[in-house]
Amino acid sequence: MRNIRPLKFIAALVSVVVVSSLLSVAVTAKNFSESYPVVVCPPTLDGLGSQISLSSKKTPFQRLQNRSTNTTQVEVLRLPVNKDSLVITSEGVAPVVWQSRSGSWAGGALCVGPASSQWFVGGAADVTTRGRLIIVNSGLSDAVVDVVTFTENGKQPVRATNVSSKNYIVIPVDSLAPGDKTLTVHVVPRSGRINAFMIDEQGKGLKALGGDLVNPAVTASKSVVIPAIPNQISKNTAALPHTLRVLAPGDLDASITVEVVSADGVFVPVGLNSRTISAGVVSEFKLDPNITSNLMAVRISSTEPIVAAVKSTATVSGKKDFVWSTVAPELVPLTMAITGLDPLITFTGENINVSLKVTLVNGKEVQQNVKGTDITNWRVPNNARSFTIVKVGTGTFAGALVSSANGYGYFPIAAGSLLTKIEVPDSNIRVLNP
Query: Does 26 share its domain with 50?
Result: no
Query: Does 70 share its domain with 16?
Result: no
Query: Does 231 share its domain with 159?
Result: yes
- In terms of residue numbers, what domain contains 27? 4-34
Query: Does 289 share its domain with 143?
Result: yes
Q: Does some domain include residue 397?
A: yes
Query: Does 126 share its domain with 17?
Result: no
Give the CA distances from residue 76 to residues 69, 80, 95, 99, in Å, rounded to whole numbers and listed in that order: 21, 9, 13, 18
CA gap 42, 107 in Å, rounded:
12
Query: Does 60 share its domain with 85?
Result: yes
pLDDT score at 426:
54
What is the pairing mode between strands 254-262 and 408-412? unpaired
pLDDT score at 5:
54
Query: Does 125 share its domain with 14?
Result: no
Q: Which residues of 296-318 are buried (b: 16+ CB within 10 A; e: fewer)?
A: bbbbbebebbbbbbbbbbbbbee
Is the separation of the CB atoms in 52 and 41 below 8 Å? yes
pLDDT score at 34:
67
pLDDT score at 66:
78
CA gap 387, 378 in Å, rounded:
12
pLDDT score at 403:
94
pLDDT score at 245:
98
pTM check: above 0.85: yes
What residues contact 10, with CB distance under 8 A and at least 6 apart?
Answer: none
Helix (H) or strand (E) holding 5: helix 4-28
Nearest to 246, CA basis, from 220, 271, 268, 266: 220
What's the number of domains the chain is made of?
2
Query: Does 27 share its domain with 113?
Result: no
Report CA 414 to chain centroid distance, whole Å.
6
Q: Does some domain include residue 237?
A: yes
CA gap 151, 182 in Å, rounded:
5
Query: Does 30 share its domain with 145?
Result: no
Q: Does some domain include residue 427?
A: no
CA gap 268, 263 in Å, rounded:
14
Query: Does 136 share its domain with 12?
Result: no
Number of C-alpha atoms within 13 angstroms, CB side, residue 226?
Answer: 31
CA gap 403, 395 in Å, rounded:
27
* pLDDT < 50: residue spans in the chain: 1-2, 14, 16-27, 422, 427, 429-434
pLDDT score at 431:
45
Q: Does some domain include residue 425?
A: no
pLDDT score at 26:
46
CA gap 296, 289 in Å, rounded:
10
Backbone Cα Rg of the chain: 26
What residues contact 409, with CB distance under 8 A and at least 6 apart?
Answer: 98, 106, 107, 108, 212, 213, 323, 401, 402
Q: Does some domain include residue 296?
A: yes
pLDDT score at 32:
56
Q: Does some domain include residue 280?
A: yes
Q: Does some domain include residue 431?
A: no
CA gap 139, 338 in Å, rounded:
27
Three-state secondary structure readout of 296-320: EEEEEEEEEEEEEEEEEEEEECCEE
Query: Does 17 share its domain with 85?
Result: no
pLDDT score at 237:
57
Q: Does some domain include residue 424?
A: no
SS3 8: helix
Query: Does 178 share its domain with 195?
Result: yes
pLDDT score at 317:
82
CA gap 132, 200 in Å, rounded:
7
Q: Which residues of 346-384 are buried (b: 16+ CB within 10 A; e: fewer)?
A: bbbbeebebbbebbeeeeeeeeeebebebbbbbebeeeb
